[in-house]
A and B are shown apart, each in its own frame.
Chain A
Amino acid sequence: QLQLQESGPGLVKPSETLSLTCTVSDGSIGSSNYYWGWIRQPPGKGLEWIATESYSGNTYYNPSLKSRVTISVDTSSNQFSLKVRSVTAADTAVYYCARRVAGRPFEYWGQGTLVTVSS
């Protein structure tokens, strides 16, 4: 059974870079047909898709965040990561990593990690 686990600092200062890693338990990070993504949820609010990277290395970003975010997959470590630059309080959220198959929605999600932006 696939498990995804987010890790990273829970507190980031304004204007700094938020860095998160998602560890994939079953080694499928290098397999074809999978897409790896990040979604976030501000406290008490709804879900916002951030970015996705495909098995072939294509990346897709939410235009509202594209100038500040980078997603990358590291098959050698069974991990993928997210960086959000120049954070503000509006970036405070629970960040989820997730996996989907081509043509399907995100089926497997990590438990989420709360990142607070505050000085």
Chain B
Amino acid sequence: EIVLTQSPGTLSLSPGERATLSCRASQNVDSSYLAWYQQKPGQAPSLLIYGASSRATGIPDRFSGSGSGTDFTLTISRLEPEDFAVYYCQQFGSSPRTFGQGTKVEIK
């Protein structure tokens, strides 16, 4: 099983600041099968990024993904009030499909 470890657990930032979230895999992950989701309280996760760096439909360009192998990054260039949420990475190239434990981006 591929274990995804996200860091930091919590990121305290102000609107307008840049957020950098890390996702590290216990084994190589084909970047085609690495995704990022955003989840707000009481809501289902929402797909942000697929293929490590491709934005899903309707996702603003302040969200970007990068990385390969075992190290992946989600960057939010300038935080908007609606971006404060929990973010999960997921690999779906190997079974079982696994998620990271999440990074909470909170208002400082």
Q: Does B32 contact A (CB under 8 A)?
A: yes
Q: Which of B20-28, B44-52, B67-75 contacts A (4 or more CB under 8 A)?
A: B44-52
A46, B45: Cα distance in complex, Å: 11
B92 and A96 contacting across the interface, CB-CB below 8 Å: no
Contact A105:B35 (CB < 8 A) given known A47-B45, A63-B96, A110-B44? yes
Please tell me the size bucket of the interface on B. 20 to 34
Q: Hey, what's the 0/1 contact readout for A73-117 against B, CB within 8 Å counting as 1?
A: 000000000000000000000001000100111110111100000
Count, A-B residue pairs, CB within 8 A: 48
**Nearest CB in chain A: distance from B104 CB, A:** 11
Q: Does B101 contact A (CB under 8 A)?
A: yes
A104 and B95 contacting across the interface, CB-CB below 8 Å: no
A52, B99: Cα distance in complex, Å: 15
Neighbouring A residues of B90 by C-beta, 8 Å: 47, 105
